Structure 1
Protein backbone atom coordinates (compact mmCIF):
# COMPACT_ATOMS: atom_id res chain seq x y z
CA UNK A 1 0.00 0.00 0.00
CA UNK A 2 1.37 3.40 -1.01
CA UNK A 3 1.76 6.22 1.49
CA UNK A 4 -1.02 8.36 -0.10
CA UNK A 5 -3.45 5.44 0.19
CA UNK A 6 -2.41 4.85 3.78
CA UNK A 7 -2.98 8.52 4.62
CA UNK A 8 -6.42 8.42 3.01
CA UNK A 9 -7.40 5.36 5.06
CA UNK A 10 -6.10 6.97 8.25
CA UNK A 11 -8.01 10.17 7.48
CA UNK A 12 -11.17 8.17 6.77
CA UNK A 13 -10.80 6.30 10.08
CA UNK A 14 -10.35 9.57 11.99
CA UNK A 15 -13.38 11.13 10.28
CA UNK A 16 -15.47 8.03 11.07
CA UNK A 17 -14.50 8.08 14.76
CA UNK A 18 -15.18 11.80 15.03
CA UNK A 19 -18.50 11.39 13.23
CA UNK A 20 -19.65 8.59 15.53
CA UNK A 21 -18.62 10.55 18.65
CA UNK A 22 -20.37 13.68 17.34
CA UNK A 23 -23.54 11.66 16.71
CA UNK A 24 -23.47 10.15 20.21
CA UNK A 25 -22.76 13.48 21.90
CA UNK A 26 -25.46 15.16 19.82
CA UNK A 27 -28.02 12.56 20.85
CA UNK A 28 -27.03 12.95 24.52
CA UNK A 29 -27.36 16.72 24.24
CA UNK A 30 -30.77 16.49 22.56
CA UNK A 31 -31.99 13.99 25.18
CA UNK A 32 -30.87 16.19 28.07
CA UNK A 33 -32.18 19.40 26.52
CA UNK A 34 -35.65 18.55 27.83
CA UNK A 35 -36.37 16.97 31.25
CA UNK A 36 -39.67 15.09 31.08
CA UNK A 37 -39.48 13.46 34.53
CA UNK A 38 -37.45 13.73 37.72
CA UNK A 39 -37.18 10.94 40.30
CA UNK A 40 -35.39 10.88 43.63
CA UNK A 41 -34.21 7.28 43.84
CA UNK A 42 -32.13 5.64 46.54
CA UNK A 43 -30.15 2.48 47.14
CA UNK A 44 -33.53 0.73 47.09
CA UNK A 45 -33.87 1.36 43.34
CA UNK A 46 -30.20 1.66 42.36
CA UNK A 47 -27.94 -1.30 43.12
CA UNK A 48 -24.31 -0.62 43.97
CA UNK A 49 -22.19 -3.42 42.40
CA UNK A 50 -20.80 -6.07 44.70
CA UNK A 51 -17.45 -4.97 46.19
CA UNK A 52 -17.63 -1.56 44.56
CA UNK A 53 -14.24 0.19 44.56
CA UNK A 54 -12.15 -2.87 45.38
CA UNK A 55 -10.61 -3.01 41.88
CA UNK A 56 -8.00 -0.23 41.93
CA UNK A 57 -7.59 -0.24 38.15
CA UNK A 58 -11.28 0.47 37.58
CA UNK A 59 -12.84 3.52 39.21
CA UNK A 60 -15.92 3.59 36.96
CA UNK A 61 -19.33 2.90 38.43
CA UNK A 62 -22.70 1.95 37.00
CA UNK A 63 -25.81 1.47 39.13
CA UNK A 64 -28.35 -1.13 38.04
CA UNK A 65 -31.98 -0.03 38.15
CA UNK A 66 -33.96 -2.34 40.46
CA UNK A 67 -37.63 -2.73 39.53
CA UNK A 68 -40.39 -5.31 39.72
CA UNK A 69 -43.96 -5.96 38.60
CA UNK A 70 -47.08 -6.39 40.78
CA UNK A 71 -47.79 -9.87 42.11
CA UNK A 72 -51.51 -10.54 41.79
CA UNK A 73 -52.45 -13.19 44.38
CA UNK A 74 -49.40 -14.44 46.29
CA UNK A 75 -49.76 -17.29 48.77
CA UNK A 76 -47.42 -18.26 51.58
CA UNK A 77 -45.37 -20.55 49.33
CA UNK A 78 -44.89 -17.74 46.80
CA UNK A 79 -43.75 -15.18 49.34
CA UNK A 80 -40.16 -16.35 49.63
CA UNK A 81 -39.77 -15.54 45.93
CA UNK A 82 -41.93 -12.40 46.07
CA UNK A 83 -39.88 -10.92 48.91
CA UNK A 84 -36.84 -10.84 46.60
CA UNK A 85 -38.86 -8.72 44.15
CA UNK A 86 -37.66 -10.57 41.07
CA UNK A 87 -41.09 -10.66 39.47
CA UNK A 88 -41.09 -9.95 35.72
CA UNK A 89 -44.49 -11.29 34.61
CA UNK A 90 -47.09 -8.61 33.84
CA UNK A 91 -50.79 -9.16 33.13
CA UNK A 92 -52.18 -6.88 30.42
CA UNK A 93 -55.49 -5.68 29.06
CA UNK A 94 -56.35 -7.19 25.68
CA UNK A 95 -55.64 -4.04 23.58
CA UNK A 96 -52.14 -3.68 25.07
CA UNK A 97 -51.44 -7.39 24.58
CA UNK A 98 -52.73 -7.35 21.00
CA UNK A 99 -50.51 -4.39 20.13
CA UNK A 100 -47.41 -6.63 20.23
CA UNK A 101 -48.77 -8.89 17.46
CA UNK A 102 -47.18 -11.99 18.94
CA UNK A 103 -47.02 -15.00 16.64
CA UNK A 104 -48.15 -18.57 17.15
CA UNK A 105 -46.99 -20.56 20.16
CA UNK A 106 -45.50 -23.03 17.70
CA UNK A 107 -42.77 -20.44 17.16
CA UNK A 108 -41.80 -20.75 20.84
CA UNK A 109 -42.29 -18.03 23.43
CA UNK A 110 -38.50 -17.49 23.71
CA UNK A 111 -38.36 -16.02 20.20
CA UNK A 112 -41.44 -13.87 20.71
CA UNK A 113 -39.67 -10.71 21.84
CA UNK A 114 -40.76 -7.23 20.81
CA UNK A 115 -39.60 -3.70 21.41
CA UNK A 116 -42.22 -1.65 23.18
CA UNK A 117 -43.00 0.69 26.02
CA UNK A 118 -43.71 0.20 29.71
CA UNK A 119 -45.35 2.42 32.27
CA UNK A 120 -43.15 2.88 35.35
CA UNK A 121 -44.71 3.81 38.68
CA UNK A 122 -42.48 5.07 41.48
CA UNK A 123 -43.68 4.99 45.10
CA UNK A 124 -47.33 4.67 44.15
CA UNK A 125 -50.27 2.31 44.57
CA UNK A 126 -48.36 -0.78 43.43
CA UNK A 127 -45.78 -0.34 46.18
CA UNK A 128 -48.54 0.29 48.74
CA UNK A 129 -50.24 -2.93 47.62
CA UNK A 130 -46.93 -4.75 48.00
CA UNK A 131 -46.57 -3.40 51.55
CA UNK A 132 -50.09 -4.57 52.37
CA UNK A 133 -49.28 -8.04 51.02
CA UNK A 134 -46.10 -8.12 53.11
CA UNK A 135 -47.97 -7.09 56.25
CA UNK A 136 -50.69 -9.68 55.67
CA UNK A 137 -48.06 -12.38 55.12
CA UNK A 138 -46.33 -11.38 58.35
CA UNK A 139 -49.64 -11.52 60.26
CA UNK A 140 -50.46 -14.98 58.86
CA UNK A 141 -47.06 -16.29 59.93
CA UNK A 142 -47.55 -14.92 63.47
CA UNK A 143 -50.97 -16.55 63.77
CA UNK A 144 -49.75 -19.88 62.46
CA UNK A 145 -46.70 -19.99 64.76
CA UNK A 146 -48.83 -19.08 67.78
CA UNK A 147 -51.33 -21.83 66.93
CA UNK A 148 -48.54 -24.38 66.50
CA UNK A 149 -47.01 -23.45 69.86
CA UNK A 150 -50.37 -23.80 71.63
CA UNK A 151 -51.09 -27.14 69.97
CA UNK A 152 -47.69 -28.60 70.86
CA UNK A 153 -48.15 -27.82 74.55
CA UNK A 154 -51.18 -30.12 74.60
CA UNK A 155 -49.57 -33.05 72.80
CA UNK A 156 -47.35 -34.25 75.63
CA UNK A 157 -44.21 -34.23 73.51
CA UNK A 158 -40.85 -34.90 75.10
CA UNK A 159 -38.89 -31.86 76.25
CA UNK A 160 -36.21 -32.22 73.58
CA UNK A 161 -38.83 -32.31 70.83
CA UNK A 162 -40.57 -29.27 72.26
CA UNK A 163 -37.27 -27.41 72.32
CA UNK A 164 -36.54 -28.38 68.70
CA UNK A 165 -40.00 -27.20 67.62
CA UNK A 166 -39.55 -23.93 69.52
CA UNK A 167 -36.18 -23.34 67.82
CA UNK A 168 -37.75 -23.98 64.41
CA UNK A 169 -40.53 -21.49 65.15
CA UNK A 170 -38.01 -18.91 66.31
CA UNK A 171 -36.14 -19.23 63.02
CA UNK A 172 -39.37 -18.83 61.05
CA UNK A 173 -40.28 -15.83 63.21
CA UNK A 174 -36.92 -14.16 62.54
CA UNK A 175 -37.21 -14.85 58.80
CA UNK A 176 -40.72 -13.35 58.69
CA UNK A 177 -39.60 -10.29 60.66
CA UNK A 178 -36.67 -9.77 58.25
CA UNK A 179 -38.94 -10.04 55.20
CA UNK A 180 -41.36 -7.50 56.71
CA UNK A 181 -38.48 -5.12 57.51
CA UNK A 182 -37.03 -5.41 54.00
CA UNK A 183 -40.44 -4.63 52.49
CA UNK A 184 -40.68 -1.43 54.56
CA UNK A 185 -37.08 -0.25 54.38
CA UNK A 186 -35.17 -1.81 51.47
CA UNK A 187 -37.52 -3.09 48.75
CA UNK A 188 -37.63 -1.20 45.48
CA UNK A 189 -40.56 1.19 45.05
CA UNK A 190 -40.24 1.17 41.26
CA UNK A 191 -42.89 -0.95 39.50
CA UNK A 192 -43.65 -1.70 35.86
CA UNK A 193 -47.46 -1.57 35.80
CA UNK A 194 -48.37 -1.64 32.10
CA UNK A 195 -46.84 -2.36 28.69
CA UNK A 196 -47.71 -1.96 25.01
CA UNK A 197 -46.08 -1.77 21.62
CA UNK A 198 -48.15 1.35 20.91
CA UNK A 199 -47.07 4.24 23.12
CA UNK A 200 -50.47 5.91 22.72
CA UNK A 201 -52.17 3.05 24.55
CA UNK A 202 -50.02 3.74 27.59
CA UNK A 203 -50.74 7.44 27.32
CA UNK A 204 -54.39 6.54 27.88
CA UNK A 205 -53.47 4.47 30.95
CA UNK A 206 -51.30 7.31 32.19
CA UNK A 207 -54.20 9.74 31.91
CA UNK A 208 -56.38 7.50 34.11
CA UNK A 209 -53.88 7.49 36.99
CA UNK A 210 -54.26 10.46 39.27
CA UNK A 211 -54.69 11.26 42.93
CA UNK A 212 -52.52 10.97 46.05
CA UNK A 213 -51.71 7.26 45.55
CA UNK A 214 -50.66 7.54 41.91
CA UNK A 215 -46.98 8.11 42.63
CA UNK A 216 -44.73 9.29 39.82
CA UNK A 217 -45.42 7.83 36.39
CA UNK A 218 -43.35 7.80 33.21
CA UNK A 219 -43.08 5.92 29.93
CA UNK A 220 -39.80 4.22 29.00
CA UNK A 221 -38.81 1.80 26.21
CA UNK A 222 -38.27 -1.86 27.05
CA UNK A 223 -37.92 -5.35 25.59
CA UNK A 224 -41.07 -7.43 26.08
CA UNK A 225 -41.47 -11.16 25.52
CA UNK A 226 -44.48 -13.44 25.34
CA UNK A 227 -45.05 -15.10 28.71
CA UNK A 228 -44.22 -18.80 28.95
CA UNK A 229 -47.59 -19.40 30.69
CA UNK A 230 -49.44 -18.20 27.58
CA UNK A 231 -48.21 -21.19 25.59
CA UNK A 232 -48.82 -23.85 28.23
CA UNK A 233 -50.93 -26.69 26.86
CA UNK A 234 -53.76 -26.80 29.37
CA UNK A 235 -57.49 -26.14 29.42
CA UNK A 236 -57.38 -23.33 31.98
CA UNK A 237 -58.53 -19.93 30.78
CA UNK A 238 -55.45 -17.81 30.17
CA UNK A 239 -55.00 -14.14 30.93
CA UNK A 240 -52.90 -12.06 28.50
CA UNK A 241 -49.45 -11.95 30.09
CA UNK A 242 -46.00 -10.83 29.01
CA UNK A 243 -42.51 -11.08 30.40
CA UNK A 244 -40.67 -7.77 30.80
CA UNK A 245 -37.17 -8.85 29.81
CA UNK A 246 -35.37 -5.59 30.43
CA UNK A 247 -35.68 -1.85 30.31
CA UNK A 248 -33.93 -0.27 27.32
CA UNK A 249 -31.69 1.55 29.82
CA UNK A 250 -31.07 -0.84 32.70
CA UNK A 251 -28.07 0.84 34.36
CA UNK A 252 -26.89 4.39 34.98
CA UNK A 253 -23.35 5.69 34.67
CA UNK A 254 -22.14 7.55 37.76
CA UNK A 255 -19.78 10.44 37.06
CA UNK A 256 -16.50 10.21 38.98
CA UNK A 257 -17.25 13.19 41.32
CA UNK A 258 -20.48 11.47 42.37
CA UNK A 259 -18.93 8.00 42.57
CA UNK A 260 -16.25 9.26 44.95
CA UNK A 261 -18.97 10.20 47.43
CA UNK A 262 -19.85 6.53 47.92
CA UNK A 263 -17.68 4.75 50.50
CA UNK A 264 -15.74 1.69 49.41
CA UNK A 265 -17.81 -1.43 50.05
CA UNK A 266 -15.33 -3.47 52.09
CA UNK A 267 -18.07 -5.27 54.07
CA UNK A 268 -21.15 -6.50 52.20
CA UNK A 269 -23.01 -6.69 55.52
CA UNK A 270 -23.22 -2.91 55.46
CA UNK A 271 -25.68 -0.96 53.33
CA UNK A 272 -24.61 2.23 51.58
CA UNK A 273 -27.43 4.76 51.95
CA UNK A 274 -27.71 7.47 49.32
CA UNK A 275 -30.14 9.49 47.25
CA UNK A 276 -29.77 10.15 43.54
CA UNK A 277 -31.55 12.76 41.47
CA UNK A 278 -32.43 10.97 38.22
CA UNK A 279 -33.68 12.87 35.18
CA UNK A 280 -35.43 11.35 32.17
CA UNK A 281 -34.91 13.29 28.95
CA UNK A 282 -36.53 13.85 25.57
CA UNK A 283 -35.86 10.26 24.44
CA UNK A 284 -36.89 8.73 27.81
CA UNK A 285 -33.23 8.02 28.58
CA UNK A 286 -32.20 8.65 32.22
CA UNK A 287 -29.06 10.11 33.77
CA UNK A 288 -27.90 10.93 37.29
CA UNK A 289 -27.98 14.69 37.87
CA UNK A 290 -26.86 14.53 41.49
CA UNK A 291 -25.96 11.97 44.12
CA UNK A 292 -25.47 12.43 47.86
CA UNK A 293 -25.09 10.21 50.88
CA UNK A 294 -28.12 10.04 53.12
CA UNK A 295 -27.86 10.73 56.83
CA UNK A 296 -26.46 7.61 58.43
CA UNK A 297 -25.09 6.74 55.03
CA UNK A 298 -23.60 3.39 55.99
CA UNK A 299 -25.52 1.24 58.42
CA UNK A 300 -25.56 -2.37 59.49
Structure 2
Protein backbone atom coordinates (compact mmCIF):
# COMPACT_ATOMS: atom_id res chain seq x y z
CA UNK A 1 0.00 0.00 0.00
CA UNK A 2 2.86 2.39 0.88
CA UNK A 3 4.56 1.51 -2.44
CA UNK A 4 1.34 2.27 -4.33
CA UNK A 5 0.82 5.59 -2.52
CA UNK A 6 4.41 6.64 -3.24
CA UNK A 7 4.02 5.91 -6.94
CA UNK A 8 0.69 7.75 -7.03
CA UNK A 9 2.32 10.77 -5.39
CA UNK A 10 5.25 10.66 -7.83
CA UNK A 11 2.90 10.35 -10.81
CA UNK A 12 0.85 13.31 -9.58
CA UNK A 13 3.97 15.40 -9.09
CA UNK A 14 5.12 14.48 -12.58
CA UNK A 15 1.83 15.63 -14.07
CA UNK A 16 2.11 18.96 -12.26
CA UNK A 17 5.68 19.47 -13.47
CA UNK A 18 4.73 18.55 -17.04
CA UNK A 19 1.72 20.87 -17.00
CA UNK A 20 3.80 23.79 -15.72
CA UNK A 21 6.53 23.09 -18.26
CA UNK A 22 4.04 23.10 -21.12
CA UNK A 23 2.46 26.31 -19.83
CA UNK A 24 5.84 28.05 -19.63
CA UNK A 25 6.74 26.80 -23.09
CA UNK A 26 3.47 28.23 -24.40
CA UNK A 27 4.20 31.61 -22.82
CA UNK A 28 7.71 31.62 -24.27
CA UNK A 29 6.43 30.77 -27.75
CA UNK A 30 3.72 33.44 -27.56
CA UNK A 31 6.28 36.13 -26.68
CA UNK A 32 8.98 35.06 -29.13
CA UNK A 33 9.80 37.37 -32.02
CA UNK A 34 8.12 40.70 -32.70
CA UNK A 35 4.67 41.24 -31.16
CA UNK A 36 1.75 40.98 -33.58
CA UNK A 37 0.30 44.14 -32.02
CA UNK A 38 1.17 46.65 -29.33
CA UNK A 39 -1.78 48.70 -28.10
CA UNK A 40 -2.15 51.22 -25.27
CA UNK A 41 -5.41 51.17 -23.33
CA UNK A 42 -6.79 53.42 -20.61
CA UNK A 43 -8.83 52.51 -17.55
CA UNK A 44 -11.86 52.76 -19.83
CA UNK A 45 -10.80 49.70 -21.84
CA UNK A 46 -8.86 47.75 -19.19
CA UNK A 47 -10.93 47.62 -16.02
CA UNK A 48 -9.72 47.05 -12.49
CA UNK A 49 -11.61 44.50 -10.40
CA UNK A 50 -14.12 46.56 -8.46
CA UNK A 51 -13.13 45.23 -5.04
CA UNK A 52 -9.40 44.88 -5.69
CA UNK A 53 -7.41 45.79 -2.60
CA UNK A 54 -10.13 45.14 -0.05
CA UNK A 55 -8.45 41.88 0.93
CA UNK A 56 -4.90 43.09 1.36
CA UNK A 57 -3.44 39.61 1.64
CA UNK A 58 -4.43 38.94 -1.98
CA UNK A 59 -1.76 40.72 -4.01
CA UNK A 60 -2.78 39.25 -7.37
CA UNK A 61 -4.23 41.61 -9.95
CA UNK A 62 -5.81 41.00 -13.34
CA UNK A 63 -7.33 43.64 -15.61
CA UNK A 64 -10.34 42.86 -17.79
CA UNK A 65 -10.67 43.92 -21.42
CA UNK A 66 -13.89 45.93 -21.76
CA UNK A 67 -15.07 45.47 -25.36
CA UNK A 68 -18.23 46.67 -27.08
CA UNK A 69 -20.20 46.35 -30.30
CA UNK A 70 -22.21 48.83 -32.37
CA UNK A 71 -25.61 47.40 -33.29
CA UNK A 72 -26.54 50.41 -35.41
CA UNK A 73 -30.29 49.92 -35.03
CA UNK A 74 -31.41 51.54 -31.79
CA UNK A 75 -31.19 54.88 -30.03
CA UNK A 76 -31.86 53.58 -26.52
CA UNK A 77 -29.40 53.18 -23.64
CA UNK A 78 -28.47 49.63 -24.76
CA UNK A 79 -27.56 50.67 -28.31
CA UNK A 80 -23.99 49.49 -27.82
CA UNK A 81 -24.60 46.49 -25.56
CA UNK A 82 -22.45 43.40 -26.20
CA UNK A 83 -25.68 41.36 -26.16
CA UNK A 84 -26.98 42.98 -29.34
CA UNK A 85 -26.11 42.07 -32.91
CA UNK A 86 -23.34 44.12 -34.56
CA UNK A 87 -24.53 45.79 -37.75
CA UNK A 88 -21.68 44.18 -39.74
CA UNK A 89 -22.44 40.62 -38.56
CA UNK A 90 -25.24 40.12 -41.07
CA UNK A 91 -26.36 37.17 -43.18
CA UNK A 92 -23.59 37.66 -45.75
CA UNK A 93 -20.88 37.74 -43.10
CA UNK A 94 -22.33 34.73 -41.29
CA UNK A 95 -22.33 32.76 -44.54
CA UNK A 96 -18.65 33.63 -45.01
CA UNK A 97 -18.00 32.33 -41.49
CA UNK A 98 -19.52 28.96 -42.37
CA UNK A 99 -23.09 29.22 -41.10
CA UNK A 100 -25.77 27.57 -43.25
CA UNK A 101 -27.98 30.63 -43.66
CA UNK A 102 -29.73 29.89 -46.99
CA UNK A 103 -32.94 28.34 -45.63
CA UNK A 104 -32.71 29.61 -42.06
CA UNK A 105 -35.89 31.71 -42.26
CA UNK A 106 -37.91 29.43 -44.57
CA UNK A 107 -40.02 27.71 -41.91
CA UNK A 108 -40.64 27.55 -38.18
CA UNK A 109 -38.68 24.30 -37.96
CA UNK A 110 -35.74 25.81 -39.86
CA UNK A 111 -35.73 28.83 -37.56
CA UNK A 112 -35.84 26.64 -34.47
CA UNK A 113 -33.00 24.46 -35.72
CA UNK A 114 -30.92 27.46 -36.77
CA UNK A 115 -31.33 29.16 -33.39
CA UNK A 116 -30.02 26.01 -31.71
CA UNK A 117 -26.96 25.71 -33.95
CA UNK A 118 -23.58 25.68 -32.23
CA UNK A 119 -21.37 28.79 -32.14
CA UNK A 120 -18.30 28.87 -34.36
CA UNK A 121 -14.74 29.70 -33.44
CA UNK A 122 -13.46 32.64 -35.48
CA UNK A 123 -10.89 35.40 -35.40
CA UNK A 124 -12.18 38.80 -34.30
CA UNK A 125 -10.81 42.27 -35.00
CA UNK A 126 -10.95 44.75 -32.13
CA UNK A 127 -10.33 48.44 -32.77
CA UNK A 128 -9.25 50.80 -30.00
CA UNK A 129 -10.22 54.49 -30.13
CA UNK A 130 -10.68 54.54 -33.89
CA UNK A 131 -13.37 55.19 -36.50
CA UNK A 132 -15.87 52.86 -34.80
CA UNK A 133 -15.72 54.88 -31.59
CA UNK A 134 -15.93 58.16 -33.51
CA UNK A 135 -19.10 56.91 -35.22
CA UNK A 136 -20.61 56.15 -31.81
CA UNK A 137 -19.60 59.54 -30.46
CA UNK A 138 -21.12 61.40 -33.42
CA UNK A 139 -24.31 59.39 -32.96
CA UNK A 140 -24.56 60.32 -29.29
CA UNK A 141 -23.89 63.98 -30.08
CA UNK A 142 -26.61 64.03 -32.73
CA UNK A 143 -29.16 62.41 -30.42
CA UNK A 144 -28.33 64.81 -27.57
CA UNK A 145 -28.65 67.79 -29.90
CA UNK A 146 -31.95 66.52 -31.27
CA UNK A 147 -33.42 65.86 -27.82
CA UNK A 148 -32.33 69.27 -26.55
CA UNK A 149 -33.91 71.00 -29.55
CA UNK A 150 -37.21 69.21 -28.88
CA UNK A 151 -37.10 70.20 -25.22
CA UNK A 152 -36.33 73.84 -26.08
CA UNK A 153 -39.30 74.01 -28.45
CA UNK A 154 -41.59 72.55 -25.76
CA UNK A 155 -40.47 74.13 -22.46
CA UNK A 156 -43.55 72.93 -20.58
CA UNK A 157 -43.06 69.29 -21.54
CA UNK A 158 -41.37 67.55 -18.60
CA UNK A 159 -40.99 64.27 -20.49
CA UNK A 160 -38.98 65.94 -23.26
CA UNK A 161 -36.88 67.81 -20.69
CA UNK A 162 -35.99 64.54 -18.94
CA UNK A 163 -35.20 62.88 -22.27
CA UNK A 164 -32.82 65.72 -23.10
CA UNK A 165 -31.08 65.36 -19.73
CA UNK A 166 -30.73 61.60 -20.19
CA UNK A 167 -29.26 62.04 -23.67
CA UNK A 168 -26.77 64.57 -22.34
CA UNK A 169 -25.73 62.19 -19.57
CA UNK A 170 -25.20 59.37 -22.07
CA UNK A 171 -23.13 61.69 -24.25
CA UNK A 172 -20.96 62.72 -21.30
CA UNK A 173 -20.47 59.09 -20.33
CA UNK A 174 -19.49 58.31 -23.91
CA UNK A 175 -16.97 61.14 -23.93
CA UNK A 176 -15.43 60.52 -20.52
CA UNK A 177 -16.03 56.96 -19.28
CA UNK A 178 -17.20 54.45 -21.88
CA UNK A 179 -14.82 51.97 -23.46
CA UNK A 180 -13.53 52.92 -26.91
CA UNK A 181 -12.71 49.31 -27.81
CA UNK A 182 -15.06 47.84 -30.42
CA UNK A 183 -15.29 44.49 -32.17
CA UNK A 184 -15.47 45.54 -35.83
CA UNK A 185 -14.99 42.41 -37.95
CA UNK A 186 -14.63 38.63 -37.97
CA UNK A 187 -13.04 36.05 -40.24
CA UNK A 188 -11.60 32.58 -40.47
CA UNK A 189 -8.02 33.58 -41.29
CA UNK A 190 -5.99 35.76 -38.93
CA UNK A 191 -3.43 36.69 -41.59
CA UNK A 192 -6.13 37.92 -43.97
CA UNK A 193 -7.68 40.05 -41.23
CA UNK A 194 -4.32 41.54 -40.32
CA UNK A 195 -3.73 42.52 -43.93
CA UNK A 196 -7.14 44.20 -43.96
CA UNK A 197 -6.43 46.00 -40.67
CA UNK A 198 -2.67 46.68 -40.69
CA UNK A 199 -2.51 49.24 -37.84
CA UNK A 200 -0.88 47.20 -35.06
CA UNK A 201 -1.14 50.10 -32.59
CA UNK A 202 -4.92 50.25 -32.86
CA UNK A 203 -6.25 46.93 -34.19
CA UNK A 204 -5.98 43.54 -32.46
CA UNK A 205 -6.76 40.14 -33.94
CA UNK A 206 -8.02 37.72 -31.29
CA UNK A 207 -9.73 34.38 -31.12
CA UNK A 208 -13.40 34.36 -30.26
CA UNK A 209 -16.76 32.76 -30.93
CA UNK A 210 -19.78 33.89 -32.90
CA UNK A 211 -23.26 32.46 -32.90
CA UNK A 212 -26.12 33.02 -35.32
CA UNK A 213 -29.84 33.43 -34.75
CA UNK A 214 -33.07 34.30 -36.55
CA UNK A 215 -34.99 37.28 -35.18
CA UNK A 216 -38.36 38.77 -36.07
CA UNK A 217 -38.23 42.50 -36.75
CA UNK A 218 -40.87 45.14 -36.05
CA UNK A 219 -42.16 44.73 -39.61
CA UNK A 220 -42.67 40.98 -38.93
CA UNK A 221 -39.83 40.04 -41.27
CA UNK A 222 -37.45 37.28 -40.16
CA UNK A 223 -33.76 38.17 -40.47
CA UNK A 224 -30.54 36.29 -39.82
CA UNK A 225 -28.21 38.02 -37.36
CA UNK A 226 -25.04 37.18 -35.50
CA UNK A 227 -23.81 37.77 -31.96
CA UNK A 228 -20.25 37.99 -30.72
CA UNK A 229 -20.56 35.38 -28.01
CA UNK A 230 -17.06 35.57 -26.60
CA UNK A 231 -13.69 37.22 -27.02
CA UNK A 232 -10.93 34.89 -25.86
CA UNK A 233 -8.38 35.96 -23.25
CA UNK A 234 -9.96 39.12 -21.88
CA UNK A 235 -8.19 38.92 -18.50
CA UNK A 236 -4.60 40.13 -18.31
CA UNK A 237 -2.42 39.46 -15.28
CA UNK A 238 -0.43 42.44 -14.05
CA UNK A 239 3.21 41.58 -13.20
CA UNK A 240 4.30 42.24 -9.64
CA UNK A 241 6.60 45.12 -10.63
CA UNK A 242 3.65 47.10 -12.00
CA UNK A 243 1.13 46.49 -9.23
CA UNK A 244 2.32 49.39 -7.09
CA UNK A 245 1.11 51.74 -9.85
CA UNK A 246 -2.45 50.66 -9.09
CA UNK A 247 -2.22 51.06 -5.31
CA UNK A 248 -3.84 54.55 -5.34
CA UNK A 249 -6.98 52.90 -6.73
CA UNK A 250 -7.29 50.15 -4.13
CA UNK A 251 -10.65 49.77 -2.41
CA UNK A 252 -10.64 50.47 1.33
CA UNK A 253 -12.44 48.50 4.01
CA UNK A 254 -15.60 50.53 3.42
CA UNK A 255 -15.63 49.47 -0.23
CA UNK A 256 -14.67 52.92 -1.56
CA UNK A 257 -11.75 54.26 -3.57
CA UNK A 258 -9.91 57.40 -2.49
CA UNK A 259 -9.16 58.19 -6.13
CA UNK A 260 -10.85 57.33 -9.43
CA UNK A 261 -8.69 55.10 -11.66
CA UNK A 262 -6.59 56.88 -14.26
CA UNK A 263 -3.86 54.94 -16.04
CA UNK A 264 -2.43 53.81 -19.38
CA UNK A 265 -1.51 50.15 -19.93
CA UNK A 266 0.34 48.95 -23.02
CA UNK A 267 -0.29 45.34 -24.02
CA UNK A 268 1.70 43.31 -26.51
CA UNK A 269 0.03 40.46 -28.39
CA UNK A 270 2.03 37.42 -29.42
CA UNK A 271 1.96 34.46 -31.75
CA UNK A 272 -0.85 32.76 -29.83
CA UNK A 273 -2.95 35.95 -29.86
CA UNK A 274 -2.43 36.28 -26.10
CA UNK A 275 -1.50 39.57 -24.37
CA UNK A 276 1.02 40.56 -21.75
CA UNK A 277 1.73 43.86 -20.02
CA UNK A 278 4.78 45.77 -21.25
CA UNK A 279 4.20 49.22 -19.74
CA UNK A 280 2.00 50.95 -17.16
CA UNK A 281 1.73 54.69 -16.54
CA UNK A 282 -0.48 56.88 -14.38
CA UNK A 283 -2.47 59.65 -16.03
What TM-score comes out, normalization by structure 1 length?
Answer: 0.78
1:272 equivalent to 2:269? Answer: no
Where does residue 89 of structure 2 map in the other structure? Answer: 92
1:180 pairs with one of 171, 181, 194: 171
Q: Deviations over 1:162-196 (max 9, x none)?
A: xxx56x66654443332211111222111111113
Once the two structures are overlaid, the 10-residue window that deviates more, 93-102 or 133-142, is 93-102
CA–CA distance in 2 between the matches of 1:44 and 1:96?
29
Which residue pairs with 1:117 in the alignment? Answer: 123
Deviation at 1:99, TM superposition (A): 3.8
Q: How does 1:1-300 map to 2 (within 5 A)?
A: 1=1, 3-34=2-33, 35-75=35-75, 78=76, 80-82=77-79, 85-86=81-82, 88-90=84-86, 91-92=88-89, 96-102=93-99, 105-107=111-113, 109-149=115-155, 152=156, 171-199=162-190, 202-203=193-194, 205-206=196-197, 216-229=202-215, 236=221, 238=223, 240-262=224-246, 263=248, 264-266=250-252, 267=256, 271-294=260-283
Q: Which has the larger radius of gyration?
A: 1
Cα 1:232–1:10 change in 2 (3 A) is farther
1:129-187, Cα deviation, whole Å (9 max, x unpaired): 011101101101110110111xx3xxxxxxxxxxxx56x66654443332211111222
CA RMSD of aligned residues (A): 2.9
> C-alpha displacement at 1:224, in angstroms?
1.2
Q: Structure 1: any 5+ residue segments left out of the alignment?
A: 153-164, 295-300
Over 6 Å off, 4+ runs: 231-234
Please give the secondary structure, in 1, of the residue aligned with 2:268.
strand
- By how many angstroms is 1:41 displaced? 0.2
CA contact (8 A) 1:70 1:87 kept: no
- Give 3-state SS (helix, strand or coil) of 2:229's partner: strand
Q: CA-to-partner distance for each residue in 1:80-139, whole Å, 9 max, x for gaps?
A: 2236x5454223365541244335533352552111111111121111101110110110
Q: 1:269 to 1:183 in 2, by over 3 A?
A: farther
* Matched position secondary structure for 1:33: coil
Q: Is the 8 A contact 1:113 1:223 kept in 2?
A: yes
TM-score of the two chains, using structure 2 as the length reference = 0.82
Higher percent of residues as helix: 1
**Per-residue Cα deviation, 1:188-226 (whole angstroms, up to 9, x for no partner):** 11111111344466356436xx8xxx9722211002111
Q: Distance in 2 between matches of 1:110 and 1:46?
A: 33
Deviation readout 1:224-252 (Å, 9 max, x if unpaired)? 111352x78985263x5211111111211
Task: Give, in whole Å, the separation in 2 of the partners of 1:169 and 1:106.
Answer: 41
Against the structure 1 CA distance between its residues 94 and 81, is the aligned structure 2 distance closer, same or farther, given a 3 Å change threshold? closer
Q: Assess if the C-alpha contact under 8 Å between 1:258 and 1:292 holds in 2.
A: no
Decide whether the 8 Å contact of 2:119 with 2:210 is kept in 1. yes
